[in-house]
Every structure is written in C-alpha cells, then in structure tokens.
C-alpha cells in the first residue's frame, strides 16, 4: 500500500511537471485543447494541462528570408527569361499562420511567381532590366495584401537574378561593347577638341600678352622721350632764365655804374669844358662804329668853337700845373 501511494505521488509529480512549458524568446507556441485552438503562448513560462492540451506548432516571429528558385517569365516583347526572387517576411499572428493556410511558404512562392509573371508581362525587356525597384515595390505590395489573412507581413521582395536567353545576352554584350566604343570615341573626340581649344586659347593669350607687352614698351618709350623732351626744355628754359638773369644783372650793374658816375659827376660839379671833352669822346666812339651815317649834335657842329674850347681847356690845365 505505501508503495502504491509513492508511485501515485511520483506519477502526479511527473504529470504536473510535464505540463510546464517555457516559450523561448521570439517564438510563439500554438496550443490546442482536445483538437481545438486554445491559446497562442508568448515568450515565458506557461502551464498546459497534460493529455488535454497539446502544443501543435512552434512559430518563430523573427524576420525570415526565403530564396525561391528561378521562375520562367515572358516579357511584353515575347522574350523568355529566368528570374529568382528573395522574400523577407515576418509572422505577425501565430494562429492565422497555423490555421490560415496549409503550407504558407509554398503559397508565398507560388503567389510571388504568378505576381512576377503578371508584372513582367506588362514590361518590355529593356524596361524589365532597368526597373528592378519598381518591380520589387509592386510585388511587395501585392504579396503583403494577400498574406495578411495568413498572419504574415511581407517586408520586401528583391529580384535576385534576371537571366535573359543566351542569344539576348550575347546581343546585349555586343550592344554594350558598341556603346562603350562609341563613348570612348566621343570621349577621345571631346578630349582632342578640348586640347585644340586649349592650344588655341594659349596661342591667343600669348599673342595678347605679346601685344600688350609691345604696347606697354611703346608707351614707356614715348613716356621716356616725352620726359627727355620735358627735361631738355626745362634745361633750355633754365639756361635762358640764367642768361636773362645774367644780362639783367649786367644791365643793373651798368645802370648802377652810370648812376654812380652821374652822382659823382654831379658831386664834382664839372665845368663846361669837361663836358665838351666828354661829348667829344663819346662822339669819337660813335664814329668808330660801323654806322654809315652819323648825326652830329648841334652842340659840336662848330669845329672852330670846339678847337678853341679844347685849346682853352689845355691852357687852363697848364696854368693849373
């Protein structure tokens, strides 16, 4: 009997412990009771009734990435290509994710493939190759709306690879090669054009600088000649001023000497005989000149009177001696 009680106690303890469930971080446990949904257990410890409750699905709520295999699609201009997509999604409702659809990942793959075919079918090859962002946005929007009822949030869809047929790839490579060669030729032509422009501008600037230098040289030469003429004119003017000042000084000296002689003559009070002699001397000096006509003053027209005067003056001088 005691062994039976101990066994029952042990069984009871095991039964109780088996009902303890600890949900790890970023997961949700979907629990059913007798085959019906009971609860979605979030992170942390929980207790479920053994034999009655059952964890039917462990759902990760972290963002998940699914890489789907390439899908054949046909463009508007009837070019068949292979495109593979990468889908980033997050489970937002564990109950809908569990009971909303049987195989959610397969459903997302098929939905993305059909959506991709519809979008690419409206685009031509060139637009398909250059419109990745537009295609990604359209697929993301359509998948997000379609998966809401499955408890899934589609964050983004990326086109991983776009593989056109081999002949299209060869044609595109040839086109790109021709385009690169064309751009290379354009760049070379532009480079040569710029080089010629730079050379021409350099020659132009050189000629301008030479012309400016010649002009400045001529200006400096003219200014130097003008300055030399000004200095020469100043020198001549100064010379004339000095000569004029010398002549004026000489005239002033002569006038001063005459004035002094007149003053002294007035002070000496000369007689009429002395005045006559001085007049005769002045007449003699005038007669020695180159003049062809001589006007004889009326005072000395009488030669006899002049001789008499000279004799009397001589006699007077002898008596005085």
Taking phi over 0 as left and psi of -120 to 50 as alpha, with beta for the rest, 293 belongs to beta
Least confident window among 58-72, 263-277, 298-312? 298-312
Are 310 and 251 contained in the same domain? no
CATH number for the domain that contains residue 98: 3.30.479.30
Are 301 and 227 contained in the same domain? no
Are 207 and 291 contained in the same domain? no
Are 75 and 128 contained in the same domain? yes
Quote the CA–CA distance of 220 and 178 in Å, as a whole number: 62
Domain annotation covers residue 20: yes
Domain annotation covers residue 170: no
Domain of residue 307 covers 271-321
> Which CA distances in Å does 218 have to 41, 73, 196, 209, 228?
103, 83, 32, 14, 15
Are 68 and 55 contained in the same domain? no
Who's near 68: CB < 8 A, 6+ residues apart?
84, 85, 86, 87, 109, 112, 113
Are 259 and 294 contained in the same domain? no
Domain annotation covers residue 78: yes
Look at residue 125 in the predicted model and tell me its pLDDT: 82
Short-list 73, 97, 71, 98, CA closest to 86: 71
**Pairing relation of β-strands 80-91 and 27-33?**
unpaired
Domain annotation covers residue 182: no
Look at residue 305 in the predicted model and tell me its pLDDT: 53
Who's near 144: CB < 8 A, 6+ residues apart?
153, 154
Look at residue 320 in the predicted model and tell me its pLDDT: 42
Q: How many C-beta neighbours within 10 Å does residue 270 have?
A: 13
- Reported as half-sphere exposure (CB side, CA atoms, 13 A), residue 68 has a value of 24
Quote the CA–CA distance of 57 and 29 in Å, as a whole number: 6
Average pLDDT over residues 123-128: 83
Q: What's phi and psi for 38, nearest 5 deg?
A: -110, -50
User: Whole-prediction pTM value?
Assistant: 0.52
Look at residue 19 in the predicted model and tell me its pLDDT: 81
Are 156 and 95 contained in the same domain? yes
- 307: pLDDT strictly greater than 50: no
Are 128 and 108 contained in the same domain? yes
Domain annotation covers residue 114: yes
Domain annotation covers residue 173: no
Look at residue 30 in the predicted model and tell me its pLDDT: 92
Of the residues 60, 85, 109, the one at which a domain ends = 60
Look at residue 317 in the predicted model and tell me its pLDDT: 47
The 10 Å CB-count burial string (b at 16+, else e) for 9-35 is: eeeeeeeeeeeeeebeeebbbbbbeee
- 313: pLDDT strictly greater than 60: no
Helix (H, G, I), strand (E, B) or coil at 79: coil
Q: Tally the domains of the chain.
A: 4
Of the residues 123, 149, 164, the one at which a domain ends = 164
For residues 168 and 195, the model is more confident at 195
> Which CA distances in Å does 55 have to 22, 29, 58, 60, 159?
12, 6, 7, 14, 37
Averaged pLDDT score across all residues of the chain: 81
Least confident window among 179-183, 204-208, 258-262? 258-262
* 277 close to 312: Cβ distance less than 8 angstroms: no
Measured on CA atoms in the order 113, 114, 118, 119, is the torsion positive or negative?
negative
Least confident window among 134-138, 206-210, 235-239, 276-280? 276-280
Are 32 and 81 contained in the same domain? no
């Amino acid at each position: 009997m005691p062994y039976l009680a101990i066994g029952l106690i042990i069984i009871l303890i095991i039964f109780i412990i088996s009902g303890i469930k600890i949900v790890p971080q970023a997961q949700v446990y979907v629990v059913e009771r007798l085959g019906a949904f009971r609860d979605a257990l979030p992170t942390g410890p929980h207790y479920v009734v053994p034999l009655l409750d059952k964890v039917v699905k462990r759902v990760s709520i972290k963002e998940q990435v699914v890489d789907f295999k390439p899908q054949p699609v046909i463009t508007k201009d009837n070019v068949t290509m292979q495109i593979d997509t990468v889908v980033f999604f997050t489970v937002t409702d564990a109950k809908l994710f569990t009971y909303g659809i049987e195989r959610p990942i397969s459903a997302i793959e098929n939905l993305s493939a059909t959506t991709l075919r519809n979008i690419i079918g409206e685009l031509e090859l060139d637009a398909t190759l250059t419109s990745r962002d537009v295609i990604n946005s359209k697929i993301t929007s359509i998948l997000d709306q379609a998966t809401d009822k499955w408890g899934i949030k589609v964050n983004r869809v990326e086109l991983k690879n776009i593989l056109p047929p081999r002949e299209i790839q060869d044609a595109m490579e040839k086109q790109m090669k021709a385009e690169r060669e064309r751009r290379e030729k354009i760049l070379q032509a532009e480079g040569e054009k710029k080089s010629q422009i730079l050379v021409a501008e350099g020659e132009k600037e050189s000629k301008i600088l030479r012309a400016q230098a010649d002009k400045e040289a001529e200006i400096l030469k003219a200014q130097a000649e003008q300055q030399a003429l000004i200095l020469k004119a100043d020198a001549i003017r100064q010379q004339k001023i000095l000569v004029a000042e010398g002549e004026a000084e000489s005239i002033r000296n002569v006038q001063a000497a005459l004035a002094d002689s007149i003053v002294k003559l007035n002070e000496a009070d000369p007689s009429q005989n002395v005045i006559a002699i001085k007049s005769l001397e002045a007449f003699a000096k005038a007669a020695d000149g180159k003049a062809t006509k001589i006007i004889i003053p009326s005072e000395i027209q009488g030669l006899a009177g002049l001789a008499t005067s000279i004799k009397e003056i001589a006699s007077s001088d002898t008596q005085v001696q």
